[in-house]
Structure 1
Amino acid sequence: MPQAHADLIVVGASAGGVEALRDLVAGLPPDLPAAVAVVLHLPAGGTSALPQIIRRAGPLPAVSARSGMPLTRGRVHVAPPDHHLLVVEDRFVLSHGPAENGHRPAIDVLFRSAAIAGGPRVVGVILSGVLDDGVAGLVAIRTRGGTAVVQDPDDALYAGMPENALRHVETTHVRPAAELGPLLAGLVRDPVGVTAAPPVPARLAQENRIARDLRGVLEVDAHMIGEASEYSCPDCNGVLNEVEPDSLRFRCQIGHAWSAEALAQAQGDAFEKALWTALRTLEEKASLSHRMVETARGWGDQRRIDRYLGLAEESTRAATVLRDFLLSSLSRSRDESSDVESTGL
């Protein structure tokens, strides 16, 4: 059987990921015989300072990835804000395809494309973060014969992503971030059987096409994506189809993809937003009712005064109850550290 070596390392991180990435790259050798690609969840606007941070933290050069850029060994390629990063054959491609789990760039997109392009030559790494972006992509890497590596949850600032990866993916390499660099340096020197890669599943290829090119969405009908569910997409309000019933993954006709955890989080955010809107409406109604009371007093109309006072008191009571609930919910959310860190990187 022909032998080769793993020559592509793909890394996904979210909240707490900058610290983990610093530790990881600090342990990589300057002659690493593999290209490295990184997705860190970033806000859509602005630019990213992550390449500079990685260059300062370790011996490898780091650049913001561009479409058409070749996979260069001994270099770290970072996904820019608001663009998916994909691997197509021996080059990187940037895409403005549908968000996945509410993110663009998304970890699943990079991992899935790397699995298709590289098979056993790919090593996927999950670092600190909340929820479970990257889990489906890591499953794809393992399905194609690649290697899965996960930061030790006890070492991660946010253990959600590592814990979900370990729960759903067969993983033999679990290390603190500071030990990942030497581990990866050894893994990329171990031989792999390039002819041993299982074929690319049709659904994996379809999802990759959707992420790469918006036109790919038009080429996939509802039954190819999955069976319609009872849920709606938080991004576009379209019907979500159940892509993988066993692991609860969903995708809408526009192409937005959601894991169950990310969907529940987005639904919770939408619910909270609706409640804040309701609170504002109640407070405005109370304020307007008080002004109407003053107007009715000028007319000497006691019936209207009583009616408007009742409306103001009812709205104020409801607003107080709703405000107390929202503030209590926000306090619990902060205490549980369930909110994703926003980063200006």
Structure 2
Amino acid sequence: MKKSRVIVIGSSAGGVIALKELVASLPADFGVPIFIVQHIAPQVHSYLPEILNHAGHLKAKHPEDGEQIRNGHIYIAPPDHHMLIEDDHILVKKGPKENRFRPSVDALFRSAAYTYKNGVIGIILTGMLDDGTSGMWAVNQMKGITIVQDPLDAMYQSMPQNVLEHVNVDYIVPLVYIPELLTGLAEIEVEEMPIEVDKNKELMKMEIDIAAQQNAFEKGIINVGEPSSLTCPECGGALNLLTEDKITRYRCHTGHAYSSESLMEEVSQMTEVKVWQTIRSLEERIILLEKSADKSRETGNEGTAVNFLSKATKTRKATNLLRAFLFDQLGGGSGKTGM
């Protein structure tokens, strides 16, 4: 039995340039629908559909929730929304973030793999961190075709490199060769292939439902994986540890999901915020101690004033040590200006 084919593409930093080059080289009669997640700030208007419409021959757009899939069209996830594939239509939802992003490459790839199985062609292009690694693993599990831009050819190597470290992919090619490769693969008929249902497939479906705004807690995500003793940076909920072969991931019972790398990045950012808050509190303590010393002097309590100033001096030293530690962790040195 012949099946349909879809192409899913994930990109981040440097992705707009890469996508323009890829789309520009696809023929006007290219008949396979293409779905793209390009990371973008949630509050920013995306001009990517217009950019790709000018770059190539295929119609590019942000889809509406529930829109029917049409061959030869390019669908781009809108900012701050997951884009998912379900049967012959598209879901555009605001489920919990994955890997600190919405839209998430993993969420799109996972939904495509579950629905189209070996009819999926997954592509990871340039980008930072590792969104897309778990999604590409899902495509591989469902016998789809996996393509990674050669990291040496990518503007930013992290996303393609992380996929290569965790997934056995079918093709590793420079960007310039991907359009020709896709044109050839699109002409190959997709035959129905039985896929054994196991716990990985059940988790895949559960995570697709969560991205589609279904209740993660009620779906039972808290019972999946192992307790990690870690908490979700987004909501403070308990994180469970999920394992996919060589991939380690985390998801909280509210639904937020993290790879190990994205979790470390988020924790690092939260740590910086909390350290700055501590520094602010210490500096406010210094202000209060010095004002109290001035008031004590005005009333003739010199001993009390000296005690306040001594505490202010110790607090200032502690604050400077904390600032130096923070700048050292951020890779900015001691924070001294040399003046």
TM-score (norm 2): 0.92
Contact map agreement 2:84 2:92 (CA 8 A) in 1: yes
Matches within 5 A, 1:60-79: 60-79=58-77
The answer for the alignment partner of 2:253 in structure 1 is 253
SS at match of 2:129: coil
Range with greater deviation from structure 2 (284-293 or 75-84): 284-293
Distance change (3 Å), C-alpha of 1:308 and 1:332:
closer
Q: In structure 2, how many angstroms separate the alpha carbons of the residues matched to 1:179 and 1:24?
A: 9
Residue 274 (structure 1) shift? 1.0
The answer for the alignment partner of 1:52 in structure 2 is 50
SS at match of 2:34: strand
The answer for the alignment partner of 1:327 in structure 2 is 327
Contact map agreement 2:150 2:172 (CA 8 A) in 1: yes
Contact map agreement 1:120 1:197 (CA 8 A) in 2: no
Q: Return the structure number with greater relative CO, CA threshold 8 A, min gap 6.
A: 1
Residue 325 (structure 1) shift? 2.8
Q: Alpha-carbon deviations, 1:51-79, whole Å to 9, x = none?
A: 11211222222101211112222111110
Runs ≥4 residues deviating over 6 A? none
Q: Alpha-carbon deviations, 1:87-124, whole Å to 9, x = none?
A: 00011001111111111111111000000111111101
SS at match of 2:155: coil
Q: In structure 1, how many angstroms separate the alpha carbons of the residues matched to 2:319 and 2:326?
A: 10
Q: In structure 1, how many angstroms separate the alpha carbons of the residues matched to 2:181 and 2:191?
A: 20
Contact map agreement 2:206 2:221 (CA 8 A) in 1: no
CA RMSD of aligned residues (A): 1.8
Residue 328 (structure 1) shift? 3.6
Q: Alpha-carbon deviations, 1:195-238, whole Å to 9, x = none?
A: 34454721111111111133354122522x22211111111111
The answer for the alignment partner of 1:135 in structure 2 is 133
1:230 equivalenced with 2:232 (yes/no): no
Paired AA for residue 15 in structure 1: A
Q: In structure 2, how many angstroms separate the alpha carbons of the residues matched to 1:57 and 1:314?
A: 62
TM-score (norm 1): 0.90
Contact map agreement 1:124 1:138 (CA 8 A) in 2: yes
1:284 equivalenced with 2:281 (yes/no): no
1:20 equivalenced with 2:8 (yes/no): no
Distance change (3 Å), C-alpha of 1:215 and 1:58:
same
Distance change (3 Å), C-alpha of 1:217 and 1:41:
farther
Paired AA for residue 146 in structure 1: G
The answer for the alignment partner of 1:157 in structure 2 is 155
Unaligned runs of 5+ in 2: 334-339
SS at match of 1:304: helix
SS at match of 2:209: helix
The answer for the alignment partner of 1:184 in structure 2 is 182
Counting matched residue pairs gives: 330
Paired AA for residue 45 in structure 2: T
